[in-house]
Structure 1
């Protein structure tokens, strides 16, 4: 007999979605049996019906008209109630809320890309909580599942900007939950998008090999040139941090070709971010001299595609210059990076500065960075803090 989890996702399959769209109980029951492999006798046992009655229902020689009977079928077979015409008032309210949910996710993504990730988290958290509750009730249709997957992914990516390193596992958790749901949605382009986001969050929590696997799968699924370019940039970054010079260089070269062909896109697939990823990869693969050369020819401050990228690039450039022995220039850049990271509430970047300053003996920078980190922690907003008590800690 089919297990409960398999039944939950059954109604997201294309054939099942078509059956639900018919609003015809006979069609829905036949589809359910076909996809689960149940016999009429087994379905009858599941529902508490005689097998002959199941046969009559499937042949439309009998029907169920009362709300109680339809609710029973809906509950046992995990059929979304609206497909059987028994949508309650609360369900109607929820369907209306879905329309606002689409806008919430879009606006949160815009806020994240504009450097307002805390705002994105605060907007998304109530929506995600409501959708998660719906999922736990077993009432899953394609629209709800698709919206929840997008909301999970955007929430996770937003958390990846605003959480301190010791809590970044939450960003990986939420993007991972989005990936698991996306695998049921029969949408390769969306799955590739979520895999890219999850791969990048895995990289941040030192799951480099897993990150590379997810990003490689995302690149294979990408059909849009700009989407593929964004994936290749993140793959190059993960490979560089793993010390894999060949994969880093190949990914960078492919991303640069796509940049020439398709042009920049978003805050990730830009010449600015491409340069930062190359510089970090050169350092990660032992080519510090080449990285320092890149750091000495920095783009203008106005060229950063988003505030967080200005901070990321400043830290990376400072790291490259300090590795080459130019501590004076590195000091100035760490100062600039710290100011940007504090202003835009980016604790992960402040922690990078703490580690880097300690490694090269810039005690003044380290002290200032620790003070900034303490201030960010003290003023963390409730919506961000809420996530730490809602999910298990990373082991």
Structure 2
């Protein structure tokens, strides 16, 4: 092993991925909070495995000057020089005590981005997923470009993960089935950040949302695996309650009767002890239970369950969930031989899916009715063609 020129053993070179995310770690945040240039330089050298000569070459100084800065024997106060060092280390200038337009832009980006993510989720939950995509796409592009340029501030990386999750989930609402892998792709891009931060709440959210998009895209086994991980990592019962309905849905789609039954029972129990949301509520679980019973080969049980009235709303349900429920109950009525009731359910589902621009749900209707209700099938197919034309334009 070569020895560095500052008298200490040279650390082993880190992986490129670790070095690229150097400023996102809790340890780095502690170092940066001191605004001590010497400590920051030492930390940067340790993470990269650089000696003082290599750091001097990066910054344009000789090793003796780097040593003096690290030991506190020299103080650097020139704003231009500090901006230069911040740029070379991929840090916002304010960390080194310099406030300039670039730093103001960074702070504005974080504040604007956080608001954009929140508003996009509200839009998606309100049945305006297309608008959510339009808001999130440029934010994600800007943040990814910043990261690729070497700027890996913790705030920006966390915001990027949240924005990628929001974008993928919104795309999962507006894309047709053959393109749902794109939604899963975007939610997957959040997983490295979630893993790197070792934040169980973020990891649970990322795995939950990615698992649900995987289920919609087709790899149901992989979806169940992600959702099982999410449930195991959930830091509290509220987080676990948010995972369980999606895990039950994926287990039903996989045909895993045991996992489905265990999950739906636990999710139902948690309804009594957690605050209801647009997903964690009796109406959503009712639909998931019906679909899961069919998916696990218990059609008669599903029909018997549907004979009871659907539970009353205890909280607002996202409009797309109403469409999902109409399709599932329409399918149950069709299986029970109630073609008139099924046609009515599918008609309402088609109208709402068209209005909300939900091609995947229109495809579910076409598949559910098959040749049993040709008029209903044709109406859903026409609505789907119209949406495809709009998307192509």
Q: What TM-score, normalized by structure 1, do the two folds share?
A: 0.88
Q: How much does 1:335 deviate?
A: 1.4
Deviation per residue, 1:68-99 (Å, 9 max, x gap): 64455434443343323455423422322321
Runs of 5+ unmatched residues, structure 1: 387-395
How many Å separate the matches in 1 of 2:304 and 2:208?
Answer: 30
The answer for the alignment partner of 1:178 in structure 2 is 190
Match of 2:376 in 1: 365
Name the Cα RMSD after superposition. Answer: 2.4
Tell me the distance in 2 between the aligned counterparts of 1:220 and 1:39. 42
Name the residue aligned to 2:210: 198
- Tell me if structure 2 keeps the 8 A contact 1:239–1:247: yes
Question: Secondary structure at the residue paired with 1:183?
Answer: helix
Check whether the contact 1:7–1:77 (CA below 8 A) recurs between aligned residues: no
Q: Do the aligned residues in 1 keep the contact of 2:19 with 2:47 (CA within 8 Å)?
A: no
The CA deviation at 1:49 is 5.0
The alpha-carbon distance between structure 1 residues 332 and 300, as it changes in their structure 2 partners (threshold 3 A), is farther
Deviation at 1:38, TM superposition (A): 4.1
Which of 297, 311, 315 does residue 286 from structure 1 map onto?
297
Which of 127, 146, 150 is matched with 1:138 structurally? 150
Does 2:181 align with 1:169? yes
CA distance in 1, matches of 2:294, 2:76: 68
Residue pair 1:7, 1:78 contacting (<8 A) in 2 also: no
Match of 2:258 among 222, 246, 253: 246
Q: Does 1:188 align with 2:200?
A: yes
Q: Distance in 1 between matches of 2:134 and 2:44?
A: 39
Matched residue, 1:353: 365
What's the counterpart of residue 392 of structure 1? none
CA distance in 1, matches of 2:99, 2:344: 62
Unaligned 5+ segments in structure 2 are 1-12
Partner SS for 1:268? coil
Question: Does structure 1 conserve the Cα–Cα contact (< 8 Å) formed by 2:92 and 2:103?
Answer: no
1:328 matched to 2:340? The reply is yes
**Corresponding residue of 1:16:** 28
Aligned mates of 2:373, 2:39 — CA distance in 1? 71
**1:352-376 CA-partner distances (Å, limit 9, x unpaired):** 0111222x43211111111101112
Task: Give 1:267's aligned residue.
Answer: 278
Match of 2:10 in 1: none
Deviation at residue 47 of structure 1 after TM alignment: 5.0
Q: Give the match's secondary structure for 2:196.
A: coil
Tell me if structure 1 keeps the 8 A contact 2:283–2:311: no
What is the distance in 2 between the residues matched to 1:306 and 1:93?
A: 35
What's the counterpart of residue 121 of structure 1? 133
Alpha-carbon distance in 1 for matches of 2:92, 2:24: 11
Distance 1:252 1:185 in 2: 31
Measured in 2, the distance between the counterparts of 1:48 and 1:102 equals 36
Which one scores higher on RCO, CA 8 angstroms, separation ≥ 6? 1
| Worse-superposed segment, 307-316 or 82-91 | 82-91
Kindly indicate whether the alpha-carbon contact (under 8 Å) linking 2:252 and 2:295 is maintained by their aligned counterparts in 1: yes
In 2, are the aligned partners of 1:292 and 1:320 still within 8 Å (CA)?
Answer: yes
**Alpha-carbon distance in structure 1 between the residues aligned to 2:125 and 2:282:** 16
Which of 1 and 2 has greater Rg?
Answer: 2
Shift of 1:48: 6.0
> CA separation in 1, counterparts of 2:290 and 2:38?
61
**Deviation digits for residues 121-146 of structure 1 (CA, Å, limit 9, x no counterpart):** 22222222222222122112111111
- Compared CA separation, residues 90 and 77, structure 1 to 2 (3 A): closer
Q: Which residue pairs with 1:391 in the alignment?
A: none
Does 2:226 align with 1:211? no
| SS of corresponding position for 1:378 | helix
Cα offset, 1:276, TM superposition: 0.8
Residues 247-269 of structure 1: per-residue CA shift (max 9 Å, x gap): 111111111111122242x2100
* Corresponding residue to 2:166 among 125, 148, 154: 154
**Distance in 2 separating the partners of 1:213 and 1:81:** 42
Deviations 1:232-256 (A, max 9, x none): 1111111110111111111111111
Tell me which residue corresponds to 1:389: none
Cα distance between partner residues in 2 of 1:146 and 1:237: 28
- Paired residues in the alignment total 380
